[in-house]
Amino acid sequence: MERTDKDNVKRVVDEDCIPALPKKKKKLNNNITPALKQQVIDLKDQGHTGKQISEQFNLAHSTVSKICSSKGRKDIEAALMTTSERTKKISNLFTSDHTKETPHHADDLDYDYEGFQKNY
């Protein structure tokens, strides 16, 4: 089999002509739902720092991981619900307005969770 000159030619590549390869993006947003994004935006609007927000979500994530790994897949929904409730409670710690909480007094039973009088 004969080799042609074409096979023996060294190819010089001009590095300026090669497009830069895109850097790999960190997969940070692969599990973030629109609801979580909105929650982060709301927390930022309330004046929380990024560190406080990340601590809240790290706590929530570790809680879900622990519950899911210890109890199995069937309890994932319960774990997520628990984590959601815990995240809300943590979020409430940062807010100064606690008037929106559900009334717990016996004389407040005629009011719904938003404080409006129930119509019977």
Per-residue model confidence (pLDDT) at position 103 = 47
Task: Tell me the pLDDT tens digit for each residue of 35-55.
Answer: 677 777 788 888 877 787 778
Percent pLDDT > 70 in the chain is 23
Alpha-carbon dihedral 67, 70, 73, 76, rounded to 10 degrees = -10
Residue 83: CB atoms within 10 Å: 19
Average pLDDT over residues 10-31: 55
Backbone φ and ψ for 50, nearest 5 degrees, come out as -60, -35
Ranges of each domain in the chain: 48-93
Rg of the chain (C-alpha set): 28
- Predicted local confidence at residue 108, as pLDDT: 47
pLDDT of residue 53: 77
pTM score over 0.85 = no
Question: Does 105 score more than 50 pLDDT?
Answer: no
